[in-house]
Structure 1
Amino acid sequence: MNQDLLEVDKLHFNELREQVSVEKFQLLLKEFINKFTYESITIEGKNALSFEDVCHLLEKEIITTKLPEREQKEALNYFKTFHYVFKLVTSRRKINEEILKDLHEMLVDGIFVGGQYRKVNIQIKESMHQPPDYVKVYDRMAKFFYDLDNFKGSAVSKAAFAHAQIFKIYPFLEGNGRLARMVLNYILMYDGYMPISIPIDEKEVYLQHIDTFKVEKDLSPFEEYIRKILLESYEHYIQMLEN
Protein backbone atom coordinates (compact mmCIF):
# COMPACT_ATOMS: atom_id res chain seq x y z
CA MET A 1 0.00 0.00 0.00
CA ASN A 2 2.76 2.46 0.96
CA GLN A 3 4.53 1.74 -2.33
CA ASP A 4 1.33 2.55 -4.25
CA LEU A 5 0.87 5.81 -2.32
CA LEU A 6 4.52 6.65 -2.89
CA GLU A 7 4.21 6.22 -6.65
CA VAL A 8 1.08 8.41 -6.68
CA ASP A 9 2.89 11.14 -4.73
CA LYS A 10 5.96 10.82 -6.95
CA LEU A 11 3.83 11.27 -10.08
CA HIS A 12 1.90 14.19 -8.57
CA PHE A 13 5.12 15.91 -7.53
CA ASN A 14 6.67 15.48 -10.98
CA GLU A 15 3.57 17.02 -12.58
CA LEU A 16 3.74 19.98 -10.20
CA ARG A 17 7.47 20.36 -10.82
CA GLU A 18 6.81 20.82 -14.53
CA GLN A 19 4.30 23.56 -13.78
CA VAL A 20 6.27 25.71 -11.33
CA SER A 21 9.17 28.03 -12.06
CA VAL A 22 12.79 26.92 -11.89
CA GLU A 23 13.28 29.42 -9.06
CA LYS A 24 10.58 27.78 -6.93
CA PHE A 25 12.07 24.33 -7.39
CA GLN A 26 15.54 25.65 -6.59
CA LEU A 27 14.13 27.18 -3.39
CA LEU A 28 12.71 23.78 -2.43
CA LEU A 29 16.05 22.11 -3.16
CA LYS A 30 17.93 24.73 -1.15
CA GLU A 31 15.65 24.17 1.85
CA PHE A 32 16.24 20.44 1.59
CA ILE A 33 20.03 20.72 1.34
CA ASN A 34 20.17 22.94 4.44
CA LYS A 35 18.00 20.47 6.37
CA PHE A 36 19.83 17.38 5.06
CA THR A 37 23.24 18.83 5.89
CA TYR A 38 22.25 19.87 9.39
CA GLU A 39 20.43 16.64 10.27
CA SER A 40 23.05 14.33 8.79
CA ILE A 41 26.00 15.87 10.62
CA THR A 42 24.00 16.29 13.84
CA ILE A 43 22.41 12.85 14.06
CA GLU A 44 25.82 11.40 14.96
CA GLY A 45 25.73 13.48 18.15
CA LYS A 46 28.87 15.59 17.82
CA ASN A 47 27.84 18.74 15.95
CA ALA A 48 28.15 22.13 17.66
CA LEU A 49 26.36 24.07 14.90
CA SER A 50 22.73 25.15 15.13
CA PHE A 51 20.43 24.90 12.13
CA GLU A 52 20.74 28.67 11.69
CA ASP A 53 24.55 28.37 11.80
CA VAL A 54 24.43 25.75 9.02
CA CYS A 55 22.08 27.82 6.85
CA HIS A 56 24.31 30.88 7.17
CA LEU A 57 27.47 28.86 6.52
CA LEU A 58 26.07 27.25 3.37
CA GLU A 59 24.87 30.64 2.14
CA LYS A 60 28.24 32.37 2.60
CA GLU A 61 30.55 29.32 2.24
CA ILE A 62 33.05 31.03 4.55
CA ILE A 63 34.48 29.41 7.70
CA THR A 64 34.43 31.73 10.73
CA THR A 65 36.46 31.71 13.96
CA LYS A 66 33.31 31.90 16.10
CA LEU A 67 32.39 28.25 15.53
CA PRO A 68 34.33 24.94 15.61
CA GLU A 69 36.35 24.63 12.40
CA ARG A 70 35.87 20.88 11.98
CA GLU A 71 32.07 21.07 12.20
CA GLN A 72 32.04 23.90 9.66
CA LYS A 73 34.22 21.89 7.28
CA GLU A 74 31.95 18.86 7.68
CA ALA A 75 28.90 20.96 6.81
CA LEU A 76 30.54 22.60 3.78
CA ASN A 77 31.88 19.26 2.59
CA TYR A 78 28.41 17.75 2.86
CA PHE A 79 26.94 20.66 0.91
CA LYS A 80 29.52 20.33 -1.88
CA THR A 81 29.25 16.53 -1.99
CA PHE A 82 25.48 16.64 -2.38
CA HIS A 83 25.80 19.02 -5.33
CA TYR A 84 28.37 16.66 -6.85
CA VAL A 85 25.99 13.72 -6.40
CA PHE A 86 23.20 15.75 -8.02
CA LYS A 87 25.51 16.40 -10.98
CA LEU A 88 26.44 12.71 -11.27
CA VAL A 89 22.77 11.68 -11.17
CA THR A 90 21.89 14.26 -13.83
CA SER A 91 24.70 12.82 -15.99
CA ARG A 92 23.26 9.30 -15.38
CA ARG A 93 26.45 8.03 -13.71
CA LYS A 94 25.72 4.87 -11.74
CA ILE A 95 27.45 4.61 -8.41
CA ASN A 96 30.56 2.42 -8.39
CA GLU A 97 33.59 1.87 -6.15
CA GLU A 98 35.56 4.78 -7.62
CA ILE A 99 32.66 7.19 -7.12
CA LEU A 100 32.06 5.91 -3.57
CA LYS A 101 35.68 6.58 -2.63
CA ASP A 102 35.51 10.02 -4.27
CA LEU A 103 32.40 10.86 -2.23
CA HIS A 104 34.10 9.82 1.00
CA GLU A 105 37.17 11.86 0.11
CA MET A 106 34.99 14.92 -0.51
CA LEU A 107 33.09 14.44 2.76
CA VAL A 108 36.29 14.51 4.85
CA ASP A 109 38.27 16.98 2.74
CA GLY A 110 40.49 19.19 4.89
CA ILE A 111 39.86 17.01 7.96
CA PHE A 112 41.77 13.79 7.23
CA VAL A 113 42.75 11.69 4.23
CA GLY A 114 39.65 10.04 2.78
CA GLY A 115 38.78 7.57 0.08
CA GLN A 116 40.84 4.76 1.59
CA TYR A 117 39.40 1.66 3.21
CA ARG A 118 40.33 1.22 6.86
CA LYS A 119 43.43 -0.81 7.75
CA VAL A 120 42.59 -1.40 11.41
CA ASN A 121 39.79 -3.11 13.32
CA ILE A 122 37.23 -0.92 15.04
CA GLN A 123 34.55 -1.21 17.70
CA ILE A 124 31.17 0.55 17.46
CA LYS A 125 29.75 1.79 20.76
CA GLU A 126 26.18 0.77 21.66
CA SER A 127 25.89 -1.52 18.64
CA MET A 128 24.89 -5.17 18.75
CA HIS A 129 27.09 -5.89 15.73
CA GLN A 130 30.75 -5.16 15.16
CA PRO A 131 32.19 -4.48 11.68
CA PRO A 132 34.23 -7.21 9.96
CA ASP A 133 37.98 -7.54 10.36
CA TYR A 134 39.78 -4.95 8.24
CA VAL A 135 41.37 -7.66 6.05
CA LYS A 136 37.87 -8.61 4.91
CA VAL A 137 36.80 -5.09 3.92
CA TYR A 138 38.01 -5.28 0.30
CA ASP A 139 36.18 -8.56 -0.31
CA ARG A 140 33.02 -7.30 1.43
CA MET A 141 33.02 -4.14 -0.66
CA ALA A 142 33.57 -6.12 -3.87
CA LYS A 143 30.50 -8.19 -2.98
CA PHE A 144 28.64 -4.99 -2.04
CA PHE A 145 29.05 -3.57 -5.55
CA TYR A 146 28.26 -6.93 -7.16
CA ASP A 147 25.04 -7.10 -5.15
CA LEU A 148 24.15 -3.51 -6.09
CA ASP A 149 24.73 -4.19 -9.79
CA ASN A 150 22.53 -7.30 -9.63
CA PHE A 151 19.88 -6.01 -7.22
CA LYS A 152 16.38 -7.19 -8.17
CA GLY A 153 14.17 -5.12 -5.86
CA SER A 154 12.75 -1.61 -6.09
CA ALA A 155 14.88 1.54 -5.96
CA VAL A 156 13.73 2.14 -2.38
CA SER A 157 14.81 -1.38 -1.40
CA LYS A 158 18.14 -0.91 -3.18
CA ALA A 159 18.76 2.44 -1.48
CA ALA A 160 17.96 0.98 1.94
CA PHE A 161 20.20 -2.00 1.25
CA ALA A 162 23.16 0.17 0.18
CA HIS A 163 22.80 2.41 3.22
CA ALA A 164 22.52 -0.49 5.68
CA GLN A 165 25.42 -2.41 4.15
CA ILE A 166 27.77 0.58 4.42
CA PHE A 167 26.87 0.75 8.11
CA LYS A 168 27.43 -3.00 8.47
CA ILE A 169 30.79 -3.15 6.67
CA TYR A 170 31.98 0.23 7.97
CA PRO A 171 34.62 0.42 5.21
CA PHE A 172 36.21 3.70 6.32
CA LEU A 173 37.59 4.79 9.68
CA GLU A 174 35.19 7.75 9.91
CA GLY A 175 32.38 9.31 7.95
CA ASN A 176 30.52 6.07 7.19
CA GLY A 177 27.17 7.36 8.44
CA ARG A 178 27.35 10.56 6.41
CA LEU A 179 28.46 8.55 3.38
CA ALA A 180 25.63 6.03 3.82
CA ARG A 181 23.00 8.78 3.87
CA MET A 182 24.54 10.37 0.79
CA VAL A 183 24.55 7.02 -1.07
CA LEU A 184 20.93 6.44 -0.03
CA ASN A 185 19.92 9.64 -1.79
CA TYR A 186 22.20 8.97 -4.75
CA ILE A 187 20.27 5.77 -5.52
CA LEU A 188 16.86 7.35 -4.87
CA MET A 189 17.57 10.32 -7.14
CA TYR A 190 19.08 8.10 -9.84
CA ASP A 191 15.73 6.34 -10.05
CA GLY A 192 13.78 9.59 -10.23
CA TYR A 193 12.83 10.06 -6.57
CA MET A 194 13.46 13.17 -4.52
CA PRO A 195 16.06 12.91 -1.72
CA ILE A 196 15.23 12.47 1.96
CA SER A 197 16.71 13.43 5.32
CA ILE A 198 16.57 11.37 8.53
CA PRO A 199 14.98 13.50 11.31
CA ILE A 200 17.23 13.99 14.33
CA ASP A 201 14.41 13.15 16.76
CA GLU A 202 14.08 9.72 15.09
CA LYS A 203 17.73 8.82 15.62
CA GLU A 204 17.02 5.87 17.97
CA VAL A 205 14.43 4.34 15.63
CA TYR A 206 16.73 4.84 12.65
CA LEU A 207 19.71 3.16 14.32
CA GLN A 208 17.56 0.34 15.70
CA HIS A 209 16.39 -0.57 12.19
CA ILE A 210 20.02 -0.64 11.00
CA ASP A 211 20.99 -2.89 13.93
CA THR A 212 18.11 -5.22 13.04
CA PHE A 213 19.60 -5.59 9.58
CA LYS A 214 23.12 -6.12 10.95
CA VAL A 215 22.13 -8.80 13.45
CA GLU A 216 19.06 -10.48 11.94
CA LYS A 217 19.83 -9.81 8.26
CA ASP A 218 16.28 -8.46 7.95
CA LEU A 219 16.13 -5.36 5.75
CA SER A 220 12.34 -5.00 5.74
CA PRO A 221 11.96 -2.78 8.87
CA PHE A 222 14.56 -0.32 7.58
CA GLU A 223 13.13 -0.43 4.07
CA GLU A 224 9.64 0.38 5.39
CA TYR A 225 11.11 3.18 7.51
CA ILE A 226 12.80 4.73 4.46
CA ARG A 227 9.56 4.41 2.50
CA LYS A 228 7.70 6.19 5.33
CA ILE A 229 10.24 9.05 5.38
CA LEU A 230 10.02 9.30 1.59
CA LEU A 231 6.22 9.51 1.72
CA GLU A 232 6.35 12.22 4.38
CA SER A 233 8.95 14.11 2.34
CA TYR A 234 6.81 14.01 -0.79
CA GLU A 235 3.83 15.37 1.14
CA HIS A 236 6.01 18.27 2.26
CA TYR A 237 7.44 18.84 -1.25
CA ILE A 238 3.95 18.81 -2.79
CA GLN A 239 2.65 21.26 -0.21
CA MET A 240 5.57 23.60 -0.97
CA LEU A 241 4.95 23.55 -4.71
CA GLU A 242 1.18 23.90 -4.37
CA ASN A 243 1.55 26.91 -2.11
Structure 2
Amino acid sequence: MHQDILEVDKLHFNELREHVGEEKFFILLNEFVKKFTYESITIEGKNALSQEDVYNLLEKEVIVTQLPEREQKEALNYKKAFAHVFKLVISRRRLNEDILKDLHEILVEGIFVGGQYRKVNIQIKNSMHQPPDYVKVYDRMAKFFYDLEHFKGTAVQKGAFAHAQIFKIYPFLEGNGRLARLVLNYIIMFDGYMPISIPLSDKEIYLQSIDTFKVEKDLSPFVDYLYQLLVNSYEQYIETLESL
Protein backbone atom coordinates (compact mmCIF):
# COMPACT_ATOMS: atom_id res chain seq x y z
CA MET A 1 0.00 0.00 0.00
CA HIS A 2 2.68 2.49 1.05
CA GLN A 3 4.80 1.49 -1.94
CA ASP A 4 1.97 2.25 -4.38
CA ILE A 5 1.31 5.65 -2.78
CA LEU A 6 5.03 6.38 -2.79
CA GLU A 7 5.35 5.74 -6.52
CA VAL A 8 2.44 8.10 -7.25
CA ASP A 9 3.99 10.80 -5.06
CA LYS A 10 7.39 10.26 -6.66
CA LEU A 11 5.94 10.73 -10.15
CA HIS A 12 4.01 13.83 -9.09
CA PHE A 13 7.10 15.34 -7.49
CA ASN A 14 9.30 14.68 -10.53
CA GLU A 15 6.75 16.34 -12.81
CA LEU A 16 6.53 19.30 -10.46
CA ARG A 17 10.32 19.54 -10.21
CA GLU A 18 10.59 19.71 -13.99
CA HIS A 19 7.93 22.40 -14.07
CA VAL A 20 9.41 24.71 -11.40
CA GLY A 21 13.03 24.35 -12.56
CA GLU A 22 16.32 23.35 -10.97
CA GLU A 23 16.83 26.62 -9.05
CA LYS A 24 13.79 25.99 -6.85
CA PHE A 25 14.70 22.33 -6.53
CA PHE A 26 18.11 23.23 -5.12
CA ILE A 27 16.50 25.68 -2.69
CA LEU A 28 14.44 22.72 -1.47
CA LEU A 29 17.51 20.47 -1.32
CA ASN A 30 19.51 23.06 0.62
CA GLU A 31 16.76 23.30 3.23
CA PHE A 32 16.71 19.51 3.45
CA VAL A 33 20.47 19.35 4.07
CA LYS A 34 20.17 21.71 7.04
CA LYS A 35 17.30 19.71 8.51
CA PHE A 36 18.99 16.37 7.82
CA THR A 37 22.26 17.51 9.38
CA TYR A 38 20.64 18.78 12.56
CA GLU A 39 18.39 15.75 13.03
CA SER A 40 21.07 13.19 12.20
CA ILE A 41 23.72 14.58 14.53
CA THR A 42 21.13 15.07 17.29
CA ILE A 43 18.97 11.94 17.22
CA GLU A 44 21.42 9.81 19.19
CA GLY A 45 21.56 12.43 21.95
CA LYS A 46 25.17 13.61 21.64
CA ASN A 47 24.81 17.00 19.94
CA ALA A 48 25.16 20.20 21.99
CA LEU A 49 24.05 22.55 19.19
CA SER A 50 20.52 23.90 18.80
CA GLN A 51 18.71 23.78 15.48
CA GLU A 52 19.33 27.51 15.05
CA ASP A 53 23.04 26.99 15.78
CA VAL A 54 23.30 24.30 13.11
CA TYR A 55 21.35 26.24 10.48
CA ASN A 56 23.47 29.38 11.01
CA LEU A 57 26.67 27.35 10.94
CA LEU A 58 25.80 25.61 7.67
CA GLU A 59 24.85 28.89 6.02
CA LYS A 60 27.97 30.81 7.11
CA GLU A 61 30.39 27.86 7.33
CA VAL A 62 32.40 29.62 10.04
CA ILE A 63 33.23 27.96 13.37
CA VAL A 64 32.55 30.24 16.35
CA THR A 65 34.26 30.15 19.73
CA GLN A 66 31.01 30.32 21.74
CA LEU A 67 29.97 26.79 20.71
CA PRO A 68 31.70 23.37 21.04
CA GLU A 69 34.25 23.04 18.24
CA ARG A 70 33.82 19.29 17.75
CA GLU A 71 30.05 19.51 17.29
CA GLN A 72 30.49 22.33 14.79
CA LYS A 73 33.01 20.29 12.81
CA GLU A 74 30.64 17.31 12.82
CA ALA A 75 27.85 19.46 11.38
CA LEU A 76 30.04 20.99 8.67
CA ASN A 77 31.47 17.57 7.83
CA TYR A 78 27.97 16.16 7.50
CA LYS A 79 27.02 18.82 4.99
CA LYS A 80 30.21 18.03 3.06
CA ALA A 81 29.54 14.29 3.20
CA PHE A 82 26.00 14.69 1.87
CA ALA A 83 27.29 16.85 -1.00
CA HIS A 84 29.77 14.07 -1.79
CA VAL A 85 26.95 11.49 -1.79
CA PHE A 86 24.85 13.67 -4.08
CA LYS A 87 27.79 14.02 -6.50
CA LEU A 88 28.40 10.26 -6.52
CA VAL A 89 24.71 9.55 -7.16
CA ILE A 90 24.67 12.00 -10.09
CA SER A 91 27.81 10.29 -11.42
CA ARG A 92 26.07 6.88 -11.03
CA ARG A 93 28.79 5.52 -8.74
CA ARG A 94 27.49 2.55 -6.78
CA LEU A 95 28.35 2.29 -3.12
CA ASN A 96 31.45 0.20 -2.43
CA GLU A 97 33.91 -0.25 0.41
CA ASP A 98 36.24 2.53 -0.71
CA ILE A 99 33.35 4.98 -0.93
CA LEU A 100 32.06 3.94 2.50
CA LYS A 101 35.47 4.54 4.06
CA ASP A 102 35.80 7.87 2.23
CA LEU A 103 32.44 8.98 3.61
CA HIS A 104 33.48 8.07 7.14
CA GLU A 105 36.71 9.96 6.66
CA ILE A 106 34.75 13.06 5.61
CA LEU A 107 32.44 12.72 8.63
CA VAL A 108 35.31 12.86 11.13
CA GLU A 109 37.69 15.14 9.24
CA GLY A 110 39.58 17.43 11.62
CA ILE A 111 38.43 15.37 14.62
CA PHE A 112 40.29 12.07 14.32
CA VAL A 113 41.59 9.78 11.58
CA GLY A 114 38.64 8.16 9.82
CA GLY A 115 38.05 5.52 7.20
CA GLN A 116 39.56 2.72 9.29
CA TYR A 117 37.62 -0.17 10.77
CA ARG A 118 37.73 -0.37 14.54
CA LYS A 119 40.50 -2.35 16.21
CA VAL A 120 38.88 -2.70 19.63
CA ASN A 121 35.72 -4.27 21.02
CA ILE A 122 32.91 -1.95 22.06
CA GLN A 123 29.74 -2.05 24.11
CA ILE A 124 26.56 -0.22 23.08
CA LYS A 125 24.72 1.36 25.97
CA ASN A 126 21.03 0.39 26.38
CA SER A 127 21.15 -2.11 23.50
CA MET A 128 20.16 -5.78 23.59
CA HIS A 129 22.69 -6.51 20.86
CA GLN A 130 26.43 -5.99 21.04
CA PRO A 131 28.57 -5.58 17.89
CA PRO A 132 30.84 -8.43 16.80
CA ASP A 133 34.40 -8.82 18.00
CA TYR A 134 36.69 -6.42 16.16
CA VAL A 135 38.61 -9.30 14.52
CA LYS A 136 35.38 -10.24 12.72
CA VAL A 137 34.67 -6.77 11.33
CA TYR A 138 36.60 -7.23 8.06
CA ASP A 139 34.79 -10.50 7.27
CA ARG A 140 31.41 -9.03 8.24
CA MET A 141 31.97 -6.02 6.01
CA ALA A 142 33.08 -8.21 3.11
CA LYS A 143 29.83 -10.14 3.47
CA PHE A 144 27.94 -6.84 3.81
CA PHE A 145 29.11 -5.63 0.41
CA TYR A 146 28.54 -9.05 -1.18
CA ASP A 147 24.97 -9.11 0.16
CA LEU A 148 24.41 -5.53 -0.96
CA GLU A 149 25.60 -6.32 -4.49
CA HIS A 150 23.30 -9.34 -4.74
CA PHE A 151 20.36 -7.86 -2.84
CA LYS A 152 16.91 -8.80 -4.15
CA GLY A 153 14.25 -6.26 -3.28
CA THR A 154 13.24 -2.64 -3.61
CA ALA A 155 15.56 0.32 -3.12
CA VAL A 156 13.84 1.10 0.18
CA GLN A 157 14.37 -2.47 1.40
CA LYS A 158 18.00 -2.34 0.26
CA GLY A 159 18.56 0.99 1.98
CA ALA A 160 16.98 -0.33 5.16
CA PHE A 161 19.20 -3.41 5.03
CA ALA A 162 22.39 -1.39 4.53
CA HIS A 163 21.50 1.06 7.28
CA ALA A 164 20.57 -1.67 9.77
CA GLN A 165 23.65 -3.76 9.03
CA ILE A 166 25.98 -0.83 9.67
CA PHE A 167 24.26 -0.38 13.03
CA LYS A 168 24.63 -4.10 13.72
CA ILE A 169 28.28 -4.49 12.68
CA TYR A 170 29.36 -1.08 13.98
CA PRO A 171 32.45 -1.15 11.76
CA PHE A 172 33.95 2.14 12.90
CA LEU A 173 34.79 3.33 16.39
CA GLU A 174 32.50 6.40 16.07
CA GLY A 175 30.10 7.91 13.56
CA ASN A 176 28.30 4.70 12.55
CA GLY A 177 24.81 6.14 13.03
CA ARG A 178 25.51 9.24 10.98
CA LEU A 179 27.16 7.08 8.33
CA ALA A 180 24.21 4.66 8.24
CA ARG A 181 21.75 7.49 7.60
CA LEU A 182 23.95 8.79 4.77
CA VAL A 183 24.16 5.31 3.23
CA LEU A 184 20.40 4.90 3.41
CA ASN A 185 19.97 8.10 1.42
CA TYR A 186 22.75 7.13 -0.96
CA ILE A 187 20.89 3.95 -1.92
CA ILE A 188 17.39 5.40 -2.27
CA MET A 189 18.66 8.48 -4.14
CA PHE A 190 20.56 6.20 -6.51
CA ASP A 191 17.20 4.68 -7.39
CA GLY A 192 15.63 8.08 -8.06
CA TYR A 193 14.01 8.87 -4.71
CA MET A 194 14.42 12.05 -2.72
CA PRO A 195 16.45 11.82 0.50
CA ILE A 196 14.81 11.48 3.90
CA SER A 197 15.63 12.59 7.42
CA ILE A 198 14.62 10.77 10.60
CA PRO A 199 12.57 13.25 12.69
CA LEU A 200 13.66 13.64 16.29
CA SER A 201 10.06 12.90 17.31
CA ASP A 202 10.48 9.42 15.76
CA LYS A 203 13.60 8.56 17.74
CA GLU A 204 12.01 5.81 19.81
CA ILE A 205 10.29 3.99 16.93
CA TYR A 206 13.38 4.42 14.73
CA LEU A 207 15.85 2.94 17.23
CA GLN A 208 13.39 0.22 18.27
CA SER A 209 12.97 -0.94 14.66
CA ILE A 210 16.77 -1.14 14.33
CA ASP A 211 16.98 -3.18 17.54
CA THR A 212 14.29 -5.53 16.21
CA PHE A 213 16.52 -6.27 13.24
CA LYS A 214 19.67 -6.68 15.34
CA VAL A 215 18.04 -9.07 17.82
CA GLU A 216 15.32 -10.84 15.80
CA LYS A 217 16.74 -10.42 12.26
CA ASP A 218 13.38 -8.95 11.26
CA LEU A 219 13.80 -5.98 8.91
CA SER A 220 10.09 -5.47 8.16
CA PRO A 221 9.33 -2.92 10.95
CA PHE A 222 12.16 -0.70 9.71
CA VAL A 223 11.14 -1.08 6.07
CA ASP A 224 7.52 -0.22 6.90
CA TYR A 225 8.66 2.81 8.87
CA LEU A 226 10.83 4.05 5.99
CA TYR A 227 8.04 3.66 3.44
CA GLN A 228 5.73 5.75 5.62
CA LEU A 229 8.47 8.31 6.20
CA LEU A 230 9.13 8.58 2.46
CA VAL A 231 5.43 9.10 1.73
CA ASN A 232 5.25 11.81 4.39
CA SER A 233 8.44 13.41 3.09
CA TYR A 234 7.21 13.50 -0.50
CA GLU A 235 4.00 15.19 0.59
CA GLN A 236 6.08 17.87 2.31
CA TYR A 237 8.40 18.19 -0.69
CA ILE A 238 5.45 18.65 -3.03
CA GLU A 239 3.83 21.22 -0.76
CA THR A 240 7.11 23.15 -0.52
CA LEU A 241 7.77 23.19 -4.27
CA GLU A 242 4.21 24.34 -4.94
CA SER A 243 4.74 27.27 -2.56
CA LEU A 244 8.12 28.42 -3.90
Query: Shorter-chain TM-score category?
Result: over 0.9
| 1:61 counterpart residue number | 61
Per-residue Cα deviation, 1:98-127 (whole angstroms, up to 9, x for no partner): 000000000000111100000110000000
Cα RMSD between the aligned structures? 0.6
Q: Which residue of 2 is the match for residue 131 of structure 1?
A: 131
Q: CA deviation at 1:6?
A: 0.4
Long gaps (5+) in structure 2: none
Q: Is residue 235 of structure 2 the alignment partner of residue 231 of structure 1?
A: no
TM (normalized to structure 1)?
0.99
CA distance in 2, matches of 1:27, 1:224: 29
Aligned to 1:18: 18
What is the DSSP-based 3-state SS (H/G/I as helix, E as strand, rest coil) of the residue aligned with 1:198? coil
Pairs aligned (count) = 243
Amino acid at match of 2:87: K
Aligned amino acid, residue 91 of structure 2:
S
Amino acid at match of 1:234: Y
CA distance in 1, matches of 2:131, 2:168: 6
Aligned-pair identity in percent equals 79
Mapped partners of 2:102, 2:237: distance in 1: 30
2-structure distance, mates of 1:210, 1:147: 18
User: Within the alignment, does 1:218 sit opposite 2:218 as a pair?
Assistant: yes
Equivalence for 1:145? 145
CA distance in 2: counterparts of 1:146 and 1:185, whole angstroms? 19
Cα offset, 1:22, TM superposition: 2.0
Matched, 1:159 2:159: yes
Structure 1 residues 193-240: Cα deviation after superposition (integer angstroms, max 9, x where no partner): 000000111111100000000000000000000111111000000111
- Following TM superposition, the consecutive aligned residue runs of length 4 or more in structure 1 with deviations greater than 3 angstroms are none
- C-alpha deviation, 1:164, in angstroms: 0.1
AA aligned opposite 2:199: P
- Number of the residue aligned with 2:96: 96
Shift of 1:27: 1.0
Unaligned runs of 5+ residues in structure 1 are none
Offset at residue 23 of structure 1 (A): 1.9
Per-residue deviation, residues 74-94 of structure 1 (Å, max 9, x unmatched): 000000000000000000000
Distance 2:21 2:92 in 1: 24
